[in-house]
Amino acid sequence: MSKLEMIKRLYEYHEWADERLLEAAARVSEEALTVGADIPFGNARDNLLHILGSQVSWLMRWTGEPPKLAQLERGRVAETLQESFAWAHERLLSYIGALTEEQVESSIRFTEFDRGQSHEVERPMWEMLLSVGSHGMGHRGEVAAVLTVAGATPGEIDYSEFAWRRGLR
C-alpha cells in the first residue's frame, strides 16, 4: 500500500470516528456538551470545535479556500457541528482524492506559530497529511469519555473497529 493509499484510509477512518462522536453528542443536551471536564479545551463542545478548527485551518492552508467556521446557535449546536464537520470532511476527502503520489512526497512551506512567534517550516506533504489525520485521535478519546459519562457513549472509535466494520484487510 502506498503512502497516499494509507493517508486516504486514515482520512476515511477520521471521518467515521468523527461521525460516531457527533452522533453521540446529538444524544445529550447542549448543557452536557459544555459541562466542565478535565480535558484540554475544558468540555466536549470546545474539544469538538478544536478538532474541526484544526481540520479547517490546514485545509485552508493547503487549498487557499476560505474556511467555513461553525456558527453555534442555542438549540442547534449538535446540528451545526454535524454540518460543519460534513463540510470539512467532504473537502478534505476531495482534496486528498485529487493528490498524486508525487505531490504527497513533495515538501511544503508554511508559517507555524509557537508562543506568539512565527517561523517558516518546511515539511513533506505526507507528514502534514498524517499529522492532520491523526491529530483528532486523542481529542476524540477525551470527548468520548465525557460523552460516555453524560450517558451517550459513541462506542469503540479506534482504527481496529473501523477496519473490522468496513471489512478491511
Q: What DSSP designation does 45 have?
A: H
> What is the tens place of the pLDDT at every residue in 91-114?
999 999 999 999 999 998 888 888
**Using one digit for the tens of pLDDT, what is the confidence trace for 125-139?**
999 999 888 888 889
- pLDDT tens for residues 25-35? 999 999 999 88
Across the range 145-152, mean pLDDT stands at: 93
Q: Answer yes or no: is pLDDT of 4 > 90.
A: yes
Can you read off the three cell numbers belonging to residue 26? 446529538
CA–CA separation, 80 and 45 (whole Å) = 11
Q: Which cell numbers in the block locate residue 37?
A: 471536564
Confidence of residue 68 (pLDDT cuts 50, 70, 90): low
> Residue 89 to residues 81, 94, 118, 133: CA-CA distances in angstroms?
12, 8, 28, 11
Average pLDDT, the chain: 89
Q: Which residues pair with 120 in a beta bridge?
A: 111
